[in-house]
Amino acid sequence: MGVKLLLDKAHVPGIRSYEVYRREGGYAAVEKALKMSPNDVVEEVKKSGLRGRGGAGFPSGMKWSFLAKPEGVPRYLVCNADESEPGTFKDRYLMEFIPHLLIEGLIVSSYALGSSRTYIYIRGEYAWIPDILEQAIAEANANGWLGKNIMGTGFDCQIYVQRGAGAYICGEETALIESLEGKRGNPRIKPPFPAVKGLYDCPTVVNNVETLAAVVPIMNIGGEAYSKIGVGRSTGTKLISACGNINKPGVYEIDMTISVEEFIYSDEYCGGIANGKKLKACIPGGSSVPILPANLLLKTAKGETRYMNYESLSDGGFATGSMMGSGGFIVLDEDQCVVRHTLSLARFYRHESCGQCSPCREGTGWMEKILHKIEYGKGQMSDIDLLWDIQRRIEGNTICPLGDAAAWPVAAAIRHFRDEFEWHVLNPEESQTRNFGLAHYADPREVVA
Amino acid sequence: MAEEKKLFKVTIDNITVEVEPGTTILNAARMIGGDVTPPAMCYYSKLKGSGGKCRTCLVEVAAGSTADPRPMPKLVASCRTTVMDGMIVKNITSEKVPDARAGVVEFLLLNHPLDCPVCDQAGECHLQDLSFDHGKEGTRYEFKRRTFEKHNLGPYIQLHMTRCILCYRCVYTADQLTEKRAHGVLDRGDHAQIATFIEKNLDSDFIGNVIDVCPVGALTDKTFRFKNRVWFTKPVDAHRNCTKCCGEVQLWMRGDEVFRVTARKDEWGEVKESTKGGTGWICNDCRFDKKSVSDWTIEGPSNVSRHSVISQGHYVGLQKPTETMPAVMGGRQPRLLMDIHSVSEVNPESVELSKINRPAHSSDFNSDKS
Ligand SMILES: Cc1cc2nc3c(=O)[nH]c(=O)nc-3n(C[C@H](O)[C@H](O)[C@H](O)COP(=O)(O)O)c2cc1C
Ligand code: SF4
Ligand code: SF4
Ligand code: FES
């Protein structure tokens, strides 16, 4: 049983309520932090080695220390709860079952950054969660953890919940800020970065829900101790939302020392592939990261065991590796069609592109149309090369990373599953009635019945 | 405190200029001019916040600055990237830029209707220029091109959404020149469109300027619609006393007839500074209602400096684009862009074909070898 820092109390009956949360040791992190100087809190987070859980994995303490602090200008902390990446649903779990953990993390972080008005920007489709959060905020207010002069320190703080309207792009931090300001959710052109000019043109930090919640255990056990959990630069624990053809889909908290194989097959986590099928492929970090075939997922190209952490998952770069991303772990069994799967991702990115820059606006739609053609038995061999060419010209040439996120899954699917695309083209009729199956990237493991 | 203003040195395609800190790469390149200047479809120096969207102006930064000479990992939008001292930029000399730019042109044309024969913008369209300079023949797109429901923007402005490249210039124009913006971008991605949310006329005093900023034929002048082709009309500078705007315009005339009135444009296709200071935006009265020669004091034929088809006519004071190729190529005069003479066995540099007073024979080249 691995260490649990975030979800250890999530199943205590009544933990959603303030009384139970407090009885279980809640708000100790606020008590501790507010006795320290804000800079010391930032130092603690730096020491912890915590990396952003929103996708990019940028060291959080470093991000905090970049925040500009001009005199007389407010600073803002914004919690990114837009979680719209297909396959990722860990933040929802955390907010729904243990909302006070996020609120507590927000208070500590607001104190560290000097934010007196802190916002939670939450995905519109999470329709029932704002009520849960607002209830928790009201309880925190009633018990003196929020409001004016918290714990007599002179620090004022209020937290507001803002609902999004259902656009994936509003999870990109600058689009989120635009949306929060009441504008169209178009990503801004950077620089300036939010740390200098963010919400209402003031210095702003945008952090993921899980990142901010992790600040609580960091305060409680100390940055030093936190950094000892995990391995290398992958410190602490990580929430993984596992879905697809596995026996036990759900949200798991792991310390980042376990292997991918253990995560998929052990009963503590995914419990193996459902229905006695074999593993074909997996997207280990949410829909934007490269898909990996079974052989490269369980072992790196060098033949070493692959682990569930930032470094190991990206071992081999995009040629033979993937990314930790946002922790959305999507498993595909032998019956799944990679072409169809890639088409559905392409459709998502086409639909969610904000349309500001031409490569993403036009390229995403074009890729979807070509994939549609191949999937429905009308493709040609040249279409595969054309797809490659399109994704290549989107990647790196756009305003925000959504363009890359649309290009990578297509690139990875062609890179690792080209034979399956070709089979679709060569067998237009057969491909309408059956799937390609496993081929050479077969699951190296025996099927355990 | 008379502090000496430090200028930044930036080298673009082997040509070095000194610019004020805060200048963008694109504007530094415009100071050099000619082929070194990246094309810009969305940036508009007179519109705050514009640029960064079309990605035609992507360039390679081979060295960030003297202090940090590392190259930038990705191509950057030159219209939104400011120069640093000692920066080295590659535009036409880059190996990556032409490919990326050809990609962007392909993307921009992907859903474009290519209806130039019936488009009023033809001849002064920046997308035509761009595809001519950087595009490829033919298309690899085999699907039905995107269409939109028609929106009526009132008596003055014609919207053809199928031609729009979503540069957002008209949106910034309405934001910055009118009291209240009545149109904008609806929806997102490849289904995004310019529209008024509820069908509405655009009738604010300065809204006509969206026609001048639109790089393509998506927003055109209804009072000029299908009346003539721009290359048959002759641009003439004229002015009148106007209480609303600077009153300095270009009349597009044929004989004594005024077909169209626009603001005056510079060599980048942008509305010029007015002689009275500020940008020479013009009001709707001047643009749409003053269509008689007697409304205007004619100054004389306009200086045409853009390399559009208009400049193919014989105009007084035609300004040719700056020639930068010799400088880019380190002083060599280009014969062909790709200098085959330096690599060719049969056509060596020492033989000046233009000096031979008759057709060249093989002996002309061989004699050099003996
Ligand atoms: C298209 C797109 C969507 C994103 N969606 C989310 C999201 O839903 N939640 C999130 O935390 N970060 C999202 N991000 C990442 C954010 O831009 C930002 O990096 C993150 O919130 C930073 O938080 P962290 O440092 O705590 O990871 C998205 C990025 C992109 C480009
Ligand atoms: S990459 Fe896509 S989503 Fe991002 S700004 Fe450009 S068009 Fe919008
Ligand atoms: S209508 Fe013209 S100016 Fe407006 S966004 Fe489209 S192309 Fe740009
Ligand atoms: S002009 Fe620079 S991106 Fe359009």
- The reply to whether omega before B215 is within 30° of 0 (cis) is no
Residues B183, B210: one domain? yes
Residue B3 lies in a domain: no
Query: Which residue among B51, B80, B185 places its CB closest to the CB of A184?
Result: B185
**A34 near A111, Cβ under 8 Å?**
yes
The CATH number covering residue A207 comes to 3.40.50.11540
Q: How far is CA A72 from CA B12, B79, B141, B284, in A?
A: 40, 32, 54, 43
Give residue A448's pLDDT: 46
User: Phi and psi at residue A417, in whole multiples of 5°?
Assistant: -125, 30
Whether residue A439 is predicted with pLDDT greater than 80 in this model: the reply is: no
Name the domain boundary from B56, B83, B105: B105
Least Cα distance to A238 among A50, A23, A22 occurs for A50
Q: Which residue of B has its CA nearest to A367?
A: B141
Query: Which residue among A189, A355, A386 places its CB closest to the CB of B189?
Result: A355
Residues A84, A213: one domain? yes
CA A345 to chain centre: 16
Contact B167/A at CB under 8 A: no
Give residue A118's pLDDT: 98
Residues A218, A256: one domain? no
Residues B144, B184: one domain? yes
Residue B252 lies in a domain: yes
Q: Which ligand 1 atom minimizes the distance to the CA of A402?
A: 1
Q: Which of residues 384-403 of A touch B (CB under 8 A)?
A: 386, 393, 396-399
A51, A170, A173, best to mutate for ligand 1 pocket (most atoms within 8 Å of CB) = A173
Residues A349, A320: one domain? no
Ligand minimally distant from the alpha carbon of residue A56 = 1
Residues B216, B238: one domain? no
Quick check: CB of A402 below 6 Å from ligand 1?
yes
What is the spatial distance between Cα A448 and Cα A163, in angstroms, rounded to a whole number?
Answer: 45
β-pairing verdict for B234-239 and B248-254: antiparallel
Contacts of B61 in chain A (CB under 8 A): none
Residue A448 lies in a domain: no
Distance (Å) from CA A309 to ligand 3 centroid = 46
Q: Do residue B141 and residue A358 have CB atoms under 8 angstroms apart?
A: no
Domain count, chain B: 4
Residues B97, B148: one domain? no
Contact B113/A at CB under 8 A: no
Query: Which residue among B52, B104, B166 places its CB closest to the CB of A189?
Result: B52
Residues B263, B297: one domain? yes
Residues B303, B342: one domain? no
Q: Which ligand 3 atom minimizes the distance to the CA of B173?
A: 3
Q: Which of residues 58-117 of A touch B (CB under 8 A)?
A: none
Give residue B3's pLDDT: 62
Query: Which residue among A169, A369, A393 places its CB closest to the CB of B103?
Result: A393
Q: Which residue of A has its CA nearest to B110?
A: A362
Give residue B351's pLDDT: 72
Q: Is B271 helix (H, G, I), strand (E, B) or coil?
A: strand
Sign of torsion over alpha carbons A312, A317, A320, A322: positive
Q: Do residue B188 and residue A393 have CB atoms under 8 angstroms apart?
A: no
* Of A420 and B267, the one with more pLDDT: A420
Give residue B369's pLDDT: 46
Residues A118, A102: one domain? yes
Residues B26, B95: one domain? yes
Residue A306 lies in a domain: yes
pTM of the predicted protein model? 0.91
Give residue B153's pLDDT: 92
Q: Do residue A397 and residue B100 have CB atoms under 8 angstroms apart?
A: yes
Q: How far does chain A reach from its first CA to its final CA, in angstroms?
A: 24
User: How near does any CA of chain B get to the CA of A101, in Å?
Assistant: 35
Residues B201, B255: one domain? no
Residues A251, A189: one domain? no
Residues A324, A249: one domain? yes
Q: Which residue of A has its CA nearest to B72?
A: A396
Burial A8-37 (b: 16+ CB within 10 A, else e): ebbeeeebbebeebbeeebbebbebbbebe
Contact A380/B at CB under 8 A: no
Q: Which ligand 4 atom minimizes the distance to the CA of B39?
A: 1
Share of chain A above pLDDT 90, in %: 96
Contact B197/A at CB under 8 A: no
- Structure token digits, residue B14: 């082997």
Residues B179, B257: one domain? no
Least Cα distance to A106 among A76, A128, A85 occurs for A76
pLDDT 10s digits, A273-311: 999 999 999 999 999 999 999 999 999 999 999 999 999
Give residue B344's pLDDT: 63
Q: State the CB neighbour count (10 A cutoff) for residue B282.
A: 27
What is the spatial distance between Cα B92 and Cα B38, in angstroms, rounded to a whole number?
Answer: 8
Residues A73, A104: one domain? yes
Residues A182, A264: one domain? no
The CATH number covering residue B217 comes to 3.30.70.20
- Give the range of the structural domain holding residue B365, as residue numbers without chain letter: 329-369
**B271 near B265, Cβ under 8 Å?**
yes
Q: Which ligand 2 atom minimizes the distance to the CA of A175?
A: 5
> How big is chain B, counted in residues?
370
Contacts of B54 in chain A (CB under 8 A): 357-358
Residue A8 lies in a domain: no
Residues B206, B300: one domain? no
Quick check: CB of A54 below 6 Å from ligand 1?
yes
**A399 near A187, Cβ under 8 Å?**
yes
Query: Which residue among B56, B74, B187 places its CB closest to the CB of A396?
Result: B74
Q: Which ligand 3 atom minimizes the distance to the CA of B213?
A: 3
pLDDT 10s digits, A10-58: 999 999 999 999 999 999 999 999 999 999 999 999 999 999 999 999 9
**B107 near B67, Cβ under 8 Å?**
no
pLDDT 10s digits, A80-99: 999 999 999 999 999 999 99
pLDDT 10s digits, A124-166: 999 999 999 999 999 999 999 999 999 999 999 999 999 999 9
Distance (Å) from CA A52 to ligand 1 centroid = 9
Residue B272 lies in a domain: yes
Q: Residue A290 is which amino acid? A: P
Ligand minimally distant from the alpha carbon of residue A403 = 2
Residue A5 lies in a domain: no
Residues A44, A172: one domain? yes
Contacts of B53 in chain A (CB under 8 A): 356-358, 399
Q: How far is CA B250 from CA B222, B280, B302, in A?
A: 17, 11, 7
ipTM for the assembly: 0.92
Tokens 């919400």: give the residue.
A199
User: How near does any CA of chain B get to the CA of A363, in Å?
Assistant: 7
* DSSP element (H, E) containing A393: helix A381-394
Contacts of B144 in chain A (CB under 8 A): none
Which residue's CA is the nearest one to ligand 3's atom 3?
Answer: B214
Residues B272, B302: one domain? yes
Residue A447 lies in a domain: no
User: How near does any CA of chain B get to the CA of A124, in Å?
Assistant: 17
Residue A7 lies in a domain: no
Residues A136, A98: one domain? yes
Name the domain boundary from A333, A354, A379: A333
Name the domain boundary from A228, A261, A293: A228
Q: Which ligand 4 atom minimizes the distance to the CA of B80?
A: 2
Q: Do residue A363 and residue B107 have CB atoms under 8 angstroms apart?
A: yes
Query: Which residue among A364, A369, A386 places its CB closest to the CB of B143?
Result: A369
Distance (Å) from CA B42 to ligand 3 centroid = 9
**pLDDT, averaged across chain A:** 95
Quick check: CB of B271 below 6 Å from ligand 3?
no
pLDDT 10s digits, A191-234: 999 999 999 999 999 999 999 999 999 999 999 999 999 999 99
Contacts of B100 in chain A (CB under 8 A): 393, 397
Give residue B203's pLDDT: 85
Residues A112, A210: one domain? yes
Residues A61, A175: one domain? yes
- Give the range of the structural domain holding residue A46, as residue numbers without chain letter: 18-228
User: How near does any CA of chain B get to the CA of A354, in Å?
Assistant: 5
**What dihedral do alpha carbons A195, A199, A201, A206 form, nearest 10°?**
10
Residues B113, B99: one domain? no
Q: Which ligand 3 atom minimizes the distance to the CA of B159?
A: 1
Q: Do residue A357 and residue B55 have CB atoms under 8 angstroms apart?
A: yes
A29: left (phi over 0), alpha (psi -120 to 50) or beta: alpha
The CATH number covering residue A387 comes to 1.20.1440.230
Quick check: CB of B19 below 6 Å from ligand 3?
no
Residue A165 lies in a domain: yes
Q: Which residue of A has its CA nearest to B49?
A: A189
The CATH number covering residue A284 comes to 3.10.20.600
Name the domain boundary from A205, A228, A251: A228
Residue B316 lies in a domain: no
What is the spatial distance between Cα A135 and Cα B113, in angstroms, rounded to a whole number?
Answer: 53
Domain count, chain A: 3
Residue A203 lies in a domain: yes
A115: left (phi over 0), alpha (psi -120 to 50) or beta: beta
Contacts of A353 in chain B (CB under 8 A): 188-190
Quick check: CB of B271 below 6 Å from ligand 4?
no
- A449 — pLDDT class (breaks 50, 70, 90): very low
Contacts of B80 in chain A (CB under 8 A): 189
Distance (Å) from CA B97 to ligand 4 centroid = 14
User: How near does any CA of chain B get to the CA of A358, in Å?
Assistant: 5
10-residue averages of pLDDT along chain B (370 residues): 78 96 97 94 97 98 96 97 97 95 96 94 93 88 93 93 97 95 94 88 92 97 92 91 96 94 93 94 97 95 68 60 76 57 63 73 63
Share of chain A above pLDDT 70, in %: 97
The CATH number covering residue B49 comes to 3.10.20.740
Contact B314/A at CB under 8 A: no
